Structure formats: structure tokens, C-alpha cells
């Protein structure tokens, strides 16, 4: 059975203050090759330790363990920032919402004085999350530079430049902490932990725990397990980068089914995702190559070429949030 490739990112890891072009090229070529076949790749030795992930999961678990009325004070309202309860996110029309809860932290919104962090409930929440965001930004920019070499872009810093506003007010990149609770009773008809979907933006950095359950859809329509690998990050292409590369990089559907074994049903699953987006004021209609779009790549999440011509990245993201959340 095929398995998602593993790329050693050590030569380009964020623990290095400087990385030579030759190293970026070598890693970028391997990453690009993995994306061509799978849309996903494992990166090991990135410079983000499992300790950092554990610290973030600990503070968010402390929040998720609070009574519902306490968590409700922090419902997602402003700029896609805040808590979502079980079933709130619906990825498939006509189906129940996913059996998970999450806390979403849009990077740009963190500078909004009206944003309320749950620090009165979990004192280290914002400090831990903001520190993790900075590491994710550094890694994302390093990955984008490597990918620029893998794509043979004339300007090898173009992708990172387009995304350099991460953690600023004009960028929708976000850190999302997810908790999949124990399944103590039968779920609603067609309800699962995470419905099949693709991601909105450019890239996603996913930090899984060791419980497992994530599956990705191969090009032939079959599914394979994205088996967790300790200290490795799962990286995937999202829809906007597929569009901007004219399908050279392809966004891959993925899902998490509800477990069938009783022990797995009773096990909490945690994951952390960092969704990488370019600056909000950029036009969606820009592409990285001059060749014509063709086939499925003339559309972006159902939006036609004509609809996309005057749409900014920020406006595009808002259309997706509107369609996704109940």
C-alpha cells in the first residue's frame, strides 16, 4: 500500500538562521515531487519540537475541559477568532456538523483590541499560542522558499513575499487547535469526526497526536491512512496554491472517519493546524505562471474565473467561512 513520503527538512529547519539556495533547492525538489503524487508530505527535523506542540495541547485541553457555559463566552465572532462547539462546522451540505470542537486564532485578529483571549480561564493560553504562531510562520516561509525552487520560479522568494504578512492585520492565516471528544453514544446519521474536504488557502501545517484516523484521497479515488509519525509535521497543499500554480500542485481531499473499535471511540484525539494564507489585499486571480488555466483549474471552490477576477484573498476567505459555519 502506498504511503505519504517523508522529507528530512533539517537542512532548511527554522533552527538555522541562514539556509543556502542549494539546500532549499534540494529540499524543495523532494517536497514538490511528494506533492505531485500525494498533495501531502511529512516533514521531519523542522525545528518545531514535539514539546512545543504538547505545551499548546495542554493549555487548549484545559480550555476544552471547561463547562459549556464557560466556553460559550469565547464563541467565534470577530475575524474568525474563537471557540466552535461540536457540530458547528459543516463541511458537507445536508450532513450534520463534524463531531469535534475547536479554538481558532486568526493571526491578524490577535492584534485587534476587541479580541478576548480565554486567559482568565487558562492563564498561559495566549502566551503559548502566540509563541507557537511565530514558529509556524517561520516554518511556513521557509517551506514556501523551498517550494519556489521546486517549482522553478524565476523569483525564488516570490511565494514567501506574498505570504510575509502572516501575523499582521492584513492576513487570514490562522492557528487552529482541535479536540475530537470521546464518542459515548451513536452519532447522528452521516456524522463523522471530520468530513471530506480540501483546505482554503495555500498550505496547511498539521501537528497530529499519535491517535491517528486521518485519511487522504489518492488520485485513483482510494484512501490511505496518514499514520502519525512522532516529531514529524504533515504538510499539505490547499486550494489557493493549486489555483495559483495552474494545478502543478494539487489540493488533496482528506477526512477523519468515526472509529469502529470501542477503545478508539473512547479516546480523545487532538490536532493542531496552522493554515497558511497570503496577504488579504492580493487578487485571487493572480497566478505564478503565464500558461493558461485549463480544466478544473479555471475554478476555485466553485467560483468561476470571471467571479475571481476582482476578488481579493480576504474576500475569498470570507465567502468560505460563510459557507462552512452553521
**85 pLDDT above the threshold of 90:** yes
Which of the residue ranges 23-27, 165-169, 183-187, 230-234 would you say has the lowest mean pLDDT? 183-187
User: pLDDT tens, 60-76?
Assistant: 999 999 999 999 999 99
**20 pLDDT above the threshold of 70:** yes
Which of the residue ranges 120-124, 144-148, 300-304 would you say has the lowest mean pLDDT? 300-304
Which of the residue ranges 159-163, 168-172, 193-197 would you say has the lowest mean pLDDT? 193-197
Write the CATH number for 63.
2.60.120.330
Number of domains in the chain: 1
User: pLDDT tens, 263-274?
Assistant: 888 899 999 999
Tell me whether residue 164 is in a domain.
yes
Domain membership of residue 264 as a residue range: 6-324
Cα 83 to Cα 92, 167, 244: the distances in Å are 20, 19, 31
pLDDT at 142: 98
Tell me whether residue 126 is in a domain.
yes
Query: Cα dihedral angle (19, 24, 30, 32), rounded to 10 degrees?
Result: 130
pTM value is 0.94
* Residue with the larger pLDDT of the pair 77 and 3: 3
**310 pLDDT above the threshold of 70:** yes
Cα–Cα distance measured from residue 34 to residue 42, given in angstroms and rounded to the nearest whole number: 9
Tell me whether residue 1 is in a domain.
no
Tell me whether residue 163 is in a domain.
yes
Tell me whether residue 310 is in a domain.
yes
Tell me whether residue 115 is in a domain.
yes
Amino acid at each position: 500500500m502506498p504511503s505519504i513520503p517523508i522529507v528530512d527538512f533539517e537542512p532548511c529547519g527554522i533552527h538555522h538562521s541562514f539556509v543556502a539556495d542549494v539546500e532549499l533547492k534540494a529540499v524543495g525538489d523532494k517536497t514538490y515531487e511528494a506533492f505531485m503524487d500525494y498533495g501531502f508530505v511529512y516533514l521531519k527535523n523542522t525545528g518545531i519540537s514535539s514539546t512545543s506542540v504538547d505545551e499548546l495541547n495542554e493549555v487548549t485541553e484545559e480550555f476544552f475541559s471547561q463547562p459549556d457555559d464557560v466556553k460559550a463566552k469565547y464563541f467565534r465572532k470577530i475575524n474568525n477568532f474563537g471557540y466552535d462547539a461540536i457540530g458547528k462546522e459543516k463541511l458537507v451540505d445536508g450532513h450534520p456538523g463534524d463531531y469535534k470542537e475547536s479554538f481558532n486564532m486568526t493571526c491578524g485578529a490577535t492584534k485587534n483590541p476587541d479580541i478576548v483571549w480565554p486567559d482568565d480561564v487558562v492563564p498561559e493560553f495566549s502566551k503559548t499560542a502566540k509563541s507557537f504562531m511565530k514558529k509556524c510562520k517561520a516554518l511556513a516561509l521557509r517551506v514556501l522558499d523551498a517550494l519556489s525552487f521546486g517549482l522553478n520560479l524565476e523569483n525564488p522568494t516570490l511565494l514567501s513575499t506574498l505570504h510575509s504578512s502572516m501575523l499582521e492585520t492584513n492576513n487570514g492565516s490562522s492557528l487552529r487547535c482541535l479536540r475530537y471528544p470521546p464518542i459515548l453514544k451513536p452519532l447522528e446519521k452521516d456524522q463523522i469526526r471530520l468530513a471530506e474536504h480540501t483546505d482554503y488557502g495555500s498550505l496547511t501545517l498539521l501537528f497530529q497526536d499519535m491517535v491517528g484516523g486521518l485519511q487522504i484521497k489518492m488520485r485513483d479515488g482510494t484512501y490511505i491512512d496518514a499514520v502519525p509519525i512522532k516529531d514529524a509535521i504533515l504538510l499539505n497543499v490547499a486550494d489557493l496554491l493549486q489555483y495559483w500554480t495552474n494545478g502543478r500542485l494539487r489540493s488533496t481531499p482528506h477526512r477523519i472517519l468515526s472509529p469502529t473499535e470501542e477503545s478508539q471511540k473512547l479516546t480523545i484525539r487532538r490536532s493542531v493546524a496552522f493554515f497558511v494564507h497570503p496577504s488579504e489585499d492580493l487578487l485571487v486571480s493572480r497566478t505564478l505562471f503565464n500558461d493558461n488555466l485549463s480544466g478544473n483549474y479555471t475554478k476555485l471552490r466553485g467560483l468561476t474565473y470571471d467571479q475571481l477576477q476582482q476578488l481579493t484573498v480576504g474576500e475569498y476567505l470570507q465567502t468560505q467561512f460563510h459557507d462552512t459555519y452553521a
